[in-house]
Structure 1
């Protein structure tokens, strides 16, 4: 249910790898031929870094990412040409070991033009980091936007879940007060016990139900108290069964996830005489929970527009909280109403 957070390489590591790689490319020819590394290699590296971060922190955010493509391309071409040309004239590329600097190499071949691979080297040296700056900054911006989208989506889901939960609380309270009212009208001696049960239920809803997850054993105690409260209301509760089996140790679930199905069973499983047929079976396995609720549909019960609010809420919560790890099967043949819910933990 909880998605693991993606972990990305730290930015300093990516930048350090880039500069180590570029430095390695620059000194490789000299190491290969056992020549001393020229001092201007470090200067070129600093120039490449200045160009890189100027592009990374200023040009890309202010031009490329703001749809000023033509301006960005124009500035980039001018910068690469200017820096590359300046580096080419200030620090001539060194040729093969047998010829020394490229200027000496050209003296041996008067009248010949400079090989293109030598003339393009400064532009390649500065152009590759420049392109990497574009790729890295654009990737970071895309990742930042994706993280922001996920954060907004998560907050949206949490707010919707909270809204659904607040809808359940008044619905439950309304039904419970009706139960106590019916007992008081009958002057039932069970009225005080019903009030105590309701206070325990409200205590759970106030102090536990506002949490994202609650221990399964507390949710089970809540269900037991609710069923006990309903039994007090009913004139005949012989056909009300609650069976809970399995080990609930260490298991956690979202609060108030099952109660809507149970409320619905009592609401529509009672006839004019107060006779109710409700069976609730909660089976707890190592990696799943199976809730089975079945009730006879009272002949006098007619579904109103608001009758399905609680069930629709819990369906929405299940889709939010267990998008690919639950199975919900509801059957209604007019005489009986069955709910089969399997949660994969």
Structure 2
């Protein structure tokens, strides 16, 4: 509406300012422009152009413009001075100039209306595509988390089972630790982001649970540096790397070597997990579920904002992950 007010204002202001009468062709021209603009915008473009009927759209559009120009020139017929032909010949094509100007004056708004409607439709489709893509990513993340939780529970129950077989007095403590871990997974893991300090507490509890089942945990360490308050991170992002380290980090003598380092900066979180590879450890069919799961999550959550490196020389297995956080603060 404001565009039309501006257009009409620019059209009528010079005339009214000079106290000249409004030419008879101006008002019909503006009315025809309005009719063509909105008819093209609301009907022709959606009905033909957006449905790929380009030839029909062109024929109809050209036909409408010809009819409109013919009607407009019925109101506007330029008159030559009486002595015009006595002194000189009229310029070539003079009789066609009003028709040419009418085509330009009507055609430009007509074309603008088509471009505007196509842009609006493109923008609407782009927003719809982004919305669907976001929903698909969210659904896929929910699927990945649902896949990860049973995997984690299976490994944790194996830990408690090992303690119960040995009739360890730590079995009850392990069950309490597992209940705390499960509480976190139930109430926090379905969120997009969780406080980083809660995620770190979860990791500490998991490591404590693992220590209870190990016969030798002297070489198990967790080192965290940096400020975690007010920071946020997707839940369960690191646990698969740590799970795999404990699963394969015990050598043939029963000693476990797992070193975990977390460095928190203002713009990133760095995780390094290193473990010895047990000589008699053979990869199982499902051993790569957790790692592949996290790779998929990283691609979905941090596209272009993470770097994951995995090194395996047959003796040591090391994972280095750095995340450049899109949302560093809660």
Structure-1-length-normalised TM-score: 0.86
Structure 1 position 108, deviation (Å): 4.3
Structure 1 position 41, deviation (Å): 2.8
In 2, Cα distance between the equivalents of 1:225 and 1:247?
19
Q: Secondary structure at the match of 1:63?
A: helix
In 2, Cα distance between the equivalents of 1:146 and 1:295?
46
Residue 306 of structure 2, aligned match among 322, 326, 335: 326
Structure 1 position 25, deviation (Å): 5.9
- Given the alignment of the two structures, is residue 77 of structure 1 paired with residue 43 of structure 2, yes or no? no
Q: Which ranges of structure 2 fall in alignment gaps of 5 or more residues?
A: 326-330
CA gap of 1:108–1:206, structure 2 versus 1, over 3 A, is farther
The corresponding residue for 2:328 is none
The corresponding residue for 1:193 is 173
In 1, Cα distance between the equivalents of 2:105 and 2:6?
12
In 2, Cα distance between the equivalents of 1:38 and 1:253?
68
The corresponding residue for 1:12 is none
Q: Secondary structure at the match of 1:84?
A: helix
Q: Is the 8 A contact 1:241 1:278 kept in 2?
A: yes
In 2, Cα distance between the equivalents of 1:283 and 1:335?
25
The corresponding residue for 1:211 is 191
Q: Which ranges of structure 1 fall in alignment gaps of 5 or more residues?
A: 1-14, 94-101
Structure 1 position 47, deviation (Å): 2.2
Structure-2-length-normalised TM-score: 0.90
1:27-42 pair list within 5 angstroms: 27=12, 30=15, 35-38=20-23, 41-42=26-27
Structure 1 position 24, deviation (Å): 5.4
The corresponding residue for 1:63 is 48
1:228-247 pair list within 5 angstroms: 228-247=208-227
- Given the alignment of the two structures, is residue 291 of structure 1 paired with residue 276 of structure 2, yes or no? no
Q: Secondary structure at the match of 2:50?
A: helix
1:1-345 pair list within 5 angstroms: 16-17=2-3, 19-20=4-5, 22-23=7-8, 26-27=11-12, 30=15, 35-38=20-23, 41-90=26-75, 92=76, 102-103=78-79, 105=80, 107-109=82-84, 112=90, 114-345=94-325
Structure 1 position 144, deviation (Å): 1.8
In 1, Cα distance between the equivalents of 2:206 and 2:191?
20
Structure 1 position 127, deviation (Å): 1.4
Count of residue pairs brought into register by the alignment: 320
Q: Is the 8 A contact 1:85 1:122 kept in 2?
A: no
In 1, Cα distance between the equivalents of 2:19 and 2:116?
34
Structure 1 position 119, deviation (Å): 3.1
C-alpha RMSD of the superposition: 2.1
Q: 1:210-232 CA distances to partner (integer Å, 9 max, x unpaired)?
A: 00111100000000000000000
Structure 1 position 305, deviation (Å): 2.7
Q: Is the 8 A contact 2:25 2:72 kept in 1?
A: no
In 2, Cα distance between the equivalents of 1:128 and 1:226?
69
Q: Is the 8 A contact 2:261 2:271 kept in 1?
A: yes
